[in-house]
Structures are given as structure tokens and as C-alpha cells.
Structure 1
Amino acid sequence: MKKLIIVCEEKCRVYGDYLSQLISLDDDTVDSSVGTKDGTVAAQVWLEKDYIANSAHISSDQYILFIGNDKLMKEKSTHMKVVFSQFGMTYGWLGKQAVLCVEKVVQTSEYESFISFARSYQSDINVLIGKKTTQKALPEKALIPAKAALAVIQPAAGVALAVKQLTLNTKIKKQQYSCEVMKFYLESLSDFLGL
């Protein structure tokens, strides 16, 4: 049995738990394996602080997957071969260490393509950005009072818009991580572990 330590930055713990749950599933069929063959991998999920506290005792024979995009994860990925990189999601490995991260939130212009890609791994993914609807143009006379009112409320509206965009980006990033973990489990974990 292969032993895998999944090291997560604090905010990515949920994705380490998700991968551990996928590994523990009895999801193989009589004809084929789904992800890794059932019963061949044992996973532990650690936070980054756990890894730092135990790093002096970890052998180079230990399989480790780092999830996140903070300083430690970037250092670990410096020399790793990128195996997958699309829609801001990247993972790769060198030897028995791998890194899985979302480097950037998928752009609005690519979101529809990302959703199609993600649905090939998770059919229940929700669409967060719809097709833009066009608004009817107001006559120029109606715009003059609107512009004066906008000058007064614009700073508050700008802050509200920024908060809304940040919330949307956070939700999209969650979708990216979930998709990437599922893809890694289904298509790459066995290769990484040499199974």
C-alpha cells in the first residue's frame, strides 16, 4: 500500500480532505479502476504547520502532495515538471513530491470553456457567470441627472462592485480547485504514485 501525505495551506484544507475522501471511496467496477485501485493508497491530510514541524523526520521515500499557492508551495514546485496546466489550474511533480494549485482565477472570457471542461469531471458544477444581457440605451437627456447622481454614489458603488467581484472570484477559485482535485484523482494520481 502506498502512503500519501497531503499537505495543505490553511485555506485549502477542504481540498486535501476532498482528495482523501476520493481515495477512500470503493468506486472501482469489476472491469476497471476509478482513480487509484481501491485499497492501494492510504492518505493523511496535514496542514502546512504540521509539515514544517515534522519535515526533519520525513524520508525522501514518502509521497507528498502539496495543495495551495503560498510561499512553501511555490518553493516546492520550483523544479517540478508541469503535468497539467489549463484555466489557471496547474499540477506537476518531481520524484515523490507533487504540487497542485490554482495560480489565477479563470477569466470571465474563458469561464464558459472552463465550465465545459469542469463538467467532464463533475456534472453537478454550478454556473456562476451567465451570458451578458444587453441593456437598452437611455436617451442622452436621461443620462444628465443619472451622471450627477452617480458622482455622489460612485465611491460606494465601486466598493460594492469590488466586494461582489472578490466574492465571485472566491467562488470560481473553489470550482477550479474542486475540478483540479477530481482530475488529479481520476487521471494522474496513479501515475504520480507509480501504480
Structure 2
Amino acid sequence: MFKVEKKKLLIVCDDKTKVFANQLSQLISSNDDTENEVIGSKDGSVVASVWEEKHFLANEAAISSDQNILFIGNTKPAKSVIPNVTEKFNQYGIHYGWLGNQAVIYVEDKLLKKEEYDRFNDFCKRQKKEFEEKVKLNQLHSTPNVMKGIGLLLPYVYPVAIFSIISSMQAKKKIMKQQHHMAVYHFYMNALTLFLED
């Protein structure tokens, strides 16, 4: 019986996206296949290493072009890869794609509108990846930033505008966290094997 060579994947992240890099590494190392179905990548077929951006940049010159690399987030090295990749997924502010041995997963830095967030939650449900905490969005969250800025100048709406801005920032942070978790999960379930074999 011959031994199957494992694919090696280098996952590059920064402090903000390390939790998502670790999520992917944990999904790869989990034994989740069933007798009848391969879930994500075949169990034991991929070895993942997580590197922070600074470690990657310090060693970039020594990394060969045949090394499979996945960048998570809008890091400096990811920004140099994003314009060149062929986008494979672009929905709900989530993007991923690859070209050759370099792939990237990132989330748009913007707050989803209420209807978009509802569609995102429906999508997560269909993918069997639901989030316990649903972010409550209202009309103020969807108000354009220019209107919020004008609102700051009007004394009678000042408290409402301030609350809206703070509330929007908190909602955006929570939603982007959910988007990142979903992006990594979706990539693992639908694209990791394709990327490694492409």
C-alpha cells in the first residue's frame, strides 16, 4: 500500500483574522468525513499551517511558487493578490478566489442593509451554518453616511445620530465577524479541494 502525499496549505492572516485562520485549520484537521461522503477536504489529505502576516513577509522570498497559500482578510500581502485572482464566490459581501497556488478570502468593509442581512442569514441556514446571535438592524443602520453627517449638525437629532453611528459600528463589527466565519466555512466545504487540485 503506497502512502498518499498530503497537500500543504499555508494560511496567512493578521491579528484581526487569526481566529478565522484557526477556524479553517481546525476544519481541515477535523475527521468529519462519513462512509458515503467527503466533507470539505478528505480527512488527512491536507496539512495546514497558520502564519501571521509579519512572519509571512519576513519569509516571503524563501517561499516557492508551488506552495499553496491562502490569505484571509485585507492584509498587505492579500491586497497584492486580490487583483489577480479569478473570483469564485461573491455574495453577501463575501469574496474568495484564486489563481495558481494563491487564494484569498476577504469580506467587504461595509455594513449590510437589513434586507441583505436577512438574505445572508437565509443563505447561512441553507448551508447548515447558522449563528445564534442575530444582529438587529433598523432603518437608521441603512441611512447613508452623508445623512448621518448632516444629522450631526442638527441639535434636535444629535442624540439619535450619535446612537445610530455607534449602533451601526457595533452591528457592522458583529456582521463582519459572521461573514468571515461563513466565508471560511463555505470555502472549506465548496472550494478548498478545487483550489488545491487546480
TM-score range relative to shorter protein: 0.7 to 0.9
Shift of the alpha carbon at 1:163?
Answer: 1.2
Q: Separation in 2 of the partners of 1:45 and 1:61?
A: 17
Asked if 1:44 is matched to 2:53, the reply is no
Matched positions, count: 177
2:59 corresponds to: 54
The structural deviation recorded for 1:10 is: 2.0
Shift of 1:94: 0.4
RMSD across aligned positions (CA):
1.9
The aligned runs of 1:130-169 (5 Å cut-off) are 151=155, 154-169=157-172
1:108 aligns with 2:111: no
Q: Which residue identity lines up with residue 151 of structure 1 in the other structure?
A: P
Name the aligned partner's letter for residue 36 of structure 2: D
Q: Percent identity?
A: 41
- Is this contact kept in 2: 1:89–1:104, CA < 8 A? no
Matched, 1:28 2:54: no
Structure 2 residue 192 is matched with structure 1 residue 189: yes
User: Is 1:175 aligned to residue 184 of structure 2?
Assistant: no
Partner of 1:78, secondary structure, is: helix
Letter in 1 for 2:135: L
Q: Secondary structure at the match of 1:56?
A: helix
TM-score by length of 1: 0.84
Quote how far apart the aligned CAs of 1:130 are.
6.1
Pick the structure with greater CA Rg: 1
**What TM-score does the superposition give when structure 2 sets the normalisation length?**
0.83
Q: Residue 10 of structure 1: SS of its match in structure 2?
A: coil
Task: Give, as a single letter, the amino acid of the residue that structure 2 aligns with 1:25.
Answer: S
Note the alpha carbon deviations across 1:135-182, whole angstroms, 9 max, x for none. xxxxxxxxxxxxxxx936x43442232111101000000111111111
- Give 2:23's aligned residue: 18
Which structure 1 residue ranges, 5 or more long, are not aligned? 133-149
Is the contact between residue 91 and residue 101 of structure 1 (CA under 8 Å) also seen in structure 2? yes
Partner of 1:142: none
Superposed displacement of residue 104, structure 1: 3.8
Q: Does 1:88 align with 2:106?
A: no
Shift of 1:123: 3.9
Q: Which amino acid in 2 is paired with 1:179?
A: M
Counterpart CA distance in 1 for 2:54 and 2:104 is: 17
**Which segments of 5 or more consecutive residues in structure 2 lack a partner in the other structure?**
1-5, 140-153
Q: Check the 8 A contact 1:20/1:45 in 2, yes or no.
A: yes
Amino acid at match of 1:55: E
**Amino acid in structure 1 at the alignment position of 2:17:** C
- Judge which range, 31-40 or 62-71, deviates more: 62-71
Look up the match of 2:125.
119
